Structure 1
Amino acid sequence: MNQPALSAFIWSVADLLRGDFKQSEYGRVILPFTVLRRLDCVLEPTKAKVLAEHAARAQAGLNPEPFIERITGKGVWNVSPMDLGKLMGDPDHIRENLFAYLQAFSPAVRDIFERFEFHAQVERLAKAKLLYPVTERFAQIDLHPDVVDNHQMGLVFEELIRKFAEISNETAGEHFTPREVIRLMVNLIFIEDDDALSVPGVVRTLYDPTAGTGGMLSIAGEYLAEHNPGARLTVYGQELNPESYAICKADMLIKGQDVANIAFGNTLSEDGHPATRFDYMLSNPPFGVEWKKVEKAVRDEHERQGFSGRFGPGLPRVSDGSMLFLLHLVAKMRPAAEGGCRFGIVLNGSPLFTGGAGSGESEIRRHVLENDLVEAIVGLPTDMFYNTGIATYVWILSNRKPAHRKGKVQLIDASAMWRKMRKSLGAKRRELGEDHIERITRIFGDFVEAQDDDNRPISRIFDTADFGYRSITVERPLRDEAGKVVVGAKGKQKGKPQPDSALRDNENVALKEDVQAYFEREVLPHAPDAWIDPEKTKVGYEIPFNRHFYVFKPPRPLVEIDAELKQVTDRIVDMIRGLSA
């Protein structure tokens, strides 16, 4: 069964729920039942062995769990003789039997259903006399990985979550990232790691602090397995939404990952992996979401720990916390001396330029640029995400840049690389094709300036210092009513001209340019009495991405415009004549 048909089948359960459940409540039933059936199918081939091993070890007075885990190969098992099919044989006791079946799962699985608050939904279904027909509907479908592989299953979960989010007026994009965007990011973080892609037995760690349903972790694992079957990728994550966390944890369990590595909670206020550093990281934090709820915890860490904590460089404005995730990832990088790290993060346009010199945003940009962490920024097409049509950018950061990239930043404009989707999904109307992903990856890997077929730049390379500037304060003297310069009478200001705040001005001088030379060239010819207040000079950084790819298009010749206007005017005159005839 293909993924759309599978999604439609599962979605048909909504017909059973209609009337007894609000539309916004469908997901609370359908998502955990889908996970339950998936686990039910995964465990079926080893069911008999598990039951026999459990009985034998229990009779011998031994803890059966270590022995059972050897059979299943995962931290997931069920020691009940029941499964969903057998539950159908006793309609009168479906509620009690289902609860017993759930209780017989391994602890990690029971936690998944607790996050779904599944017991409450089972009680509600039983009272509405819907528990048996809903369970029966799911028992009819085969979700074994041999029938529905992990990739398909991930797409099913994403489509269901998107539908439920739309019904509930929630933001689907908070839960997952389009698969083709993840594939691009995975390509970019792995492209220069020859060991990970070729050395047998190599072990790498990957972390996503905004894991959602686990799509980024899954696709990265698939990529590495495809390119180096002998490699082992250990994944870590953290997720705030209980249902997304439950799905991510279930997915990791089925794939044999250690689910203790998937933490629950708010990454910004309670780091789930405080002492761990990683080889690779991927993240798509929420765009433009305020961090007021965790402001106290974040500010406390910033003020008390400084650069020993995660937020030492600075704090962005409370209305957008995406740059806090950028700082969080920087703090989680494996040190260069231990092999280093590369990570990719999706951000909107705001972190490129918001905030003047000395602001939290500028200081964060200053930190990552002056420490030579930014490898590239890729501008994506608009209308790529499920919950927003705005422009988005993939930042690639690394503390193990190859020699030819040191001190450089590559900007790639991929905004024109897209194809229209046959059917829009929320705000997502465009997608990257395989050819687009390959082209962007190649441009990044080649690390050269490039143009498209129309000679428009699509790749540009800059020194990190090109994005820096000094914000200088230009003062003019205060004058009395007679026009005489007012001078200070006391202290350090004695005998010095006093500044007129009404005439004060600020100038931004490129970091590579001499400030005095700029002042003499740009200011003194227009204001000979001006001076610079050095105590107010600040260093700032911004990345005017679009400006670097702007191509001037000269206006059409005036004669051509006049001729076109005359044609329009003549048509209007002819229409008026026709009306009056």
Structure 2
Amino acid sequence: MSQSASSLSSLIWSVADLLRGDYKPSEYGRVILPFTILRRLDCVLAPTKAKVLAEALARQKAGINPEPFLLKIAGVNFVNTSPLDMAKLMGDQDNIATNLNAYIQGFTAPVRDIFDRFRFGEQVDRLRKANLLYQVAEKFVGFDLAPSRVTNHDMGLAFEELIRKFAEAANDAAGEHFTPRDVIKLMVNLLFVEDEDILTPGNPAVRTIYDPTAGTGGMLSVAAEHLLEHNPEAKLRMLGQELNDESYAICKADMLIKGQDIRNIVAGNTLSDDGHAGTKFDYMLSNPPFGVEWKKVEKAVRREHEEMGFAGRFGPGLPRISDGSMLFLLHLVAKMRPAQEGGSRFGIVLNGSPLFTGGAGSGESEIRRYMLENDLVEAIIALPTDMFFNTGIATYVWIVSNRKPDHRKGRVQLIDGSGFWRKMRKSLGSKRREMGDDDIDMITRVFGDFLEGDLLKQTTSDGWHFTTFRRTGEAADEASEDGKVEITPVSRIFRNEDFGYRTITVERPLRDEKGKPVFGQRGKQKGLLQPDPELRDTENVPLTEDVEAYFQREVLPHAPDAWIDESKTKIGYEIPFNRQFYVFEPPRPLEEIDADLAEVMGRISTMIRELAA
């Protein structure tokens, strides 16, 4: 963040000094954020205010809708037709609440919607009752936020910083609507690292990026910031949808301040009411709720699944009702631009459940099957625990694309980034760890270069240690005398089919009281050996292995009379992530354990003798 943006956000946040006592720290943002937006818009419109009012009057007299003409004069995608502005509000202290509300009603509808979602009218009334409204408004009037003084870029950064301060003040509740910036930065790096053309300076590329769970817009903002740092000529159109009113208002305001078309930020539930139906995108990012049931939207989702099938968003299958995160995964897949039109790439944060929950034939397994058999999964990266504001559980970033580079086709890269973190100086809710720039750069390089290998932690005899990445196949460095080397697997590459299996049903014959096999007497079962339901069993056979060979080797030696009921065979997929990175640690030598036990027993005997004395 630039110095000017940082100092501006600190200056604006100083308004909290006025609110202290009447407002809780977690409520400061409900006043500061909408007032910041109001003052910025006020300053943006000031140079054209007189012309806009004159044009509005003339067009209204002629019976013509003035808005298109006013927008052209203002040069931005919003106007205000009230004769008031924030400076004029200061001239009538007794009626400031009434006049302030009237001034807001003068904005075009998309801007009014922002203040409605903030429930700004309630805050105005609360400030009035606390005798703070005039003081707060006066403070903001003193901030010169004119574009000639504060660029859109710096204003956007300052507003992001204000959002971050609000998130920190909100603490535990923040996790539902704020994604930590370090997580976003990693996801954005992974999203763009393979696209050199758009990151090349001077390339006037135009791309779209979409977030179906936009929250306060952090992912969209960081993506745009990252792109512009590398290529100032590029343009990124940001689109999103958000359910929570306050988060929606913040996101929409952030986009407005950055000069984006705020009509691209839609309110509502993405799963039951897609606000961008039929639209495809170049890039997408999402951090959907973890482990949240989707019962509220079940009727709409099931209807789309059953009536539209693969022509809708949920064709591959539906997860169990207790966790709807995989529905967002399918939603993003449905939003991918066709490969022949350039394709798409997206990143989504999920908990561990989508990796393995559900056996063959279940909704979760069928979704994984669709993703892997269509070669959509590029990589899955395990994040450290304690990374989010409201949960400490293990989380994973999925990178999904329908335009894989040739060297990635048919492959999935698993990266264990759980050890790449540093302890935060101050915890924020459940967030106790963060990823530093070095951590993010290491994971980005391992992904971008499609590397497979381990992390070597080398400790020398004097206690100094360092870590290096070693590609698979490279010779290991020898530790110095009295030192040691710890090897931790970091990246593994698999074929898509390595995660698939067939669940076969193994039957054994039903026997009568004399122990003789029972055969069917009627219909299609006539003459066929009848299975015993109590002896029925299942086996999971990897897709990469021949079923008959497996059956001969693993089943028949133990049950010579068994057979496979092929009509019940199902194909399943699971991604046992942790199993791929398990490192066996041999137990200590028995002599050491015996010596420790002898020492402990000696201490206990001494204590008993002392007590007896």
Give me the TM-score of the superposition, normalised by structure 1: 0.93
Aligned to 1:399: 402
Aligned to 2:203: 200
Aligned to 1:175: 177
Between the aligned partners of 2:242 and 2:17, the Cα distance in structure 1 is 29
Going from structure 1 to structure 2, the CA distance change for 1:72 and 1:569 (only over 3 Å counts) comes to farther
User: What is the CA-CA distance between 1:114 and the residue it aligns to?
Assistant: 1.3
- 2:157 pairs with 128, 151, 155, which one? 151
Aligned to 2:522: 490
- 2:273 pairs with 267, 270, 290, which one? 270
Between the aligned partners of 1:43 and 1:121, the Cα distance in structure 2 is 19
- Can you list the C-alpha shifts for 1:81-122, whole angstroms capped at 9, x where unaligned? 544444233221111211122122232211111112222333
User: What is the CA-CA distance between 1:30 and the residue it aligns to?
Assistant: 4.2
**Partners of 2:510 and 2:532 within 8 A in 1:** yes
- 1:373 pairs with 369, 372, 376, which one? 376
Corresponding residue SS for 1:415: coil
Going from structure 1 to structure 2, the CA distance change for 1:561 and 1:516 (only over 3 Å counts) comes to same
Aligned to 2:483: none
- 1:413 pairs with 413, 416, 421, which one? 416
Aligned pair 1:17/2:28, yes or no? Answer: no
Between the aligned partners of 2:322 and 2:36, the Cα distance in structure 1 is 41
Aligned to 1:361: 364
- Can you list the C-alpha shifts for 1:473-496, whole angstroms capped at 9, x where unaligned? 001111112111111111221122
- Can you list the C-alpha shifts for 1:216-266, whole angstroms capped at 9, x where unaligned? 111111111111111111111000001100111111111111111111100
Aligned pair 1:47/2:49, yes or no? Answer: no
Q: CA RMSD in A?
A: 2.3
User: What is the CA-CA distance between 1:42 and the residue it aligns to?
Assistant: 4.9
Corresponding residue SS for 1:451: strand
Count residues in correspondence: 571
Between the aligned partners of 1:72 and 1:272, the Cα distance in structure 2 is 28
Between the aligned partners of 1:557 and 1:142, the Cα distance in structure 2 is 72
**Partners of 1:7 and 1:159 within 8 A in 2:** no
Amino acid at match of 1:89: G
**Partners of 1:76 and 1:109 within 8 A in 2:** yes
Aligned pair 1:533/2:536, yes or no? Answer: no
**Partners of 2:42 and 2:86 within 8 A in 1:** no
Mark the runs of 5 or more structure 1 residues left unpaired by the alignment: none
- Can you list the C-alpha shifts for 1:296-315, whole angstroms capped at 9, x where unaligned? 00000000000000000000
- 2:290 pairs with 277, 287, 291, which one? 287
Going from structure 1 to structure 2, the CA distance change for 1:30 and 1:461 (only over 3 Å counts) comes to closer
Amino acid at match of 2:440: I
Corresponding residue SS for 2:20: helix
Between the aligned partners of 2:116 and 2:92, the Cα distance in structure 1 is 25
Between the aligned partners of 2:230 and 2:167, the Cα distance in structure 1 is 30
Corresponding residue SS for 1:17: coil
- 2:504 pairs with 452, 472, 477, which one? 472
User: Structure 1 residues 8-17 or 397-406, which shifts more?
Assistant: 8-17
Corresponding residue SS for 1:340: coil
- 2:191 pairs with 172, 189, 192, which one? 189
Mark the runs of 5 or more structure 2 residues left unpaired by the alignment: 1-5, 457-485
Aligned to 1:35: 34
Amino acid at match of 1:88: M
Between the aligned partners of 2:96 and 2:282, the Cα distance in structure 1 is 47
Corresponding residue SS for 1:455: strand
Amino acid at match of 2:122: A
Aligned to 1:547: 579
Aligned to 1:310: 313
Going from structure 1 to structure 2, the CA distance change for 1:329 and 1:532 (only over 3 Å counts) comes to same
Percent of aligned positions that are identical: 64
Between the aligned partners of 1:31 and 1:70, the Cα distance in structure 2 is 32
**Partners of 1:201 and 1:232 within 8 A in 2:** yes
Between the aligned partners of 2:612 and 2:158, the Cα distance in structure 1 is 67
State how 1:52-451 maps to structure 2 within 5 Å.
Answer: 52-56=51-55, 58-59=57-58, 65-66=67-68, 68-70=70-72, 72-80=74-82, 82-127=84-129, 129-139=131-141, 146=150, 149-164=155-170, 166=172, 171-198=173-200, 200-451=203-454
User: Structure 1 residues 408-417 or 196-205, which shifts more?
Assistant: 196-205
**Partners of 1:46 and 1:71 within 8 A in 2:** no
- 2:593 pairs with 549, 561, 572, which one? 561
Give me the TM-score of the superposition, normalised by structure 2: 0.88
**Partners of 1:54 and 1:64 within 8 A in 2:** no
User: Structure 1 residues 195-204 or 125-134, which shifts more?
Assistant: 125-134
User: What is the CA-CA distance between 1:79 and the residue it aligns to?
Assistant: 4.2
Aligned to 1:457: 489
User: Structure 1 residues 106-115 or 82-91, which shifts more?
Assistant: 82-91
Going from structure 1 to structure 2, the CA distance change for 1:71 and 1:200 (only over 3 Å counts) comes to farther
State how 1:504-523 maps to structure 2 within 5 Å.
Answer: 504-523=536-555
User: Structure 1 residues 481-490 or 312-321, which shifts more?
Assistant: 481-490
Going from structure 1 to structure 2, the CA distance change for 1:421 and 1:241 (only over 3 Å counts) comes to same
Going from structure 1 to structure 2, the CA distance change for 1:112 and 1:225 (only over 3 Å counts) comes to same
Corresponding residue SS for 2:219: helix
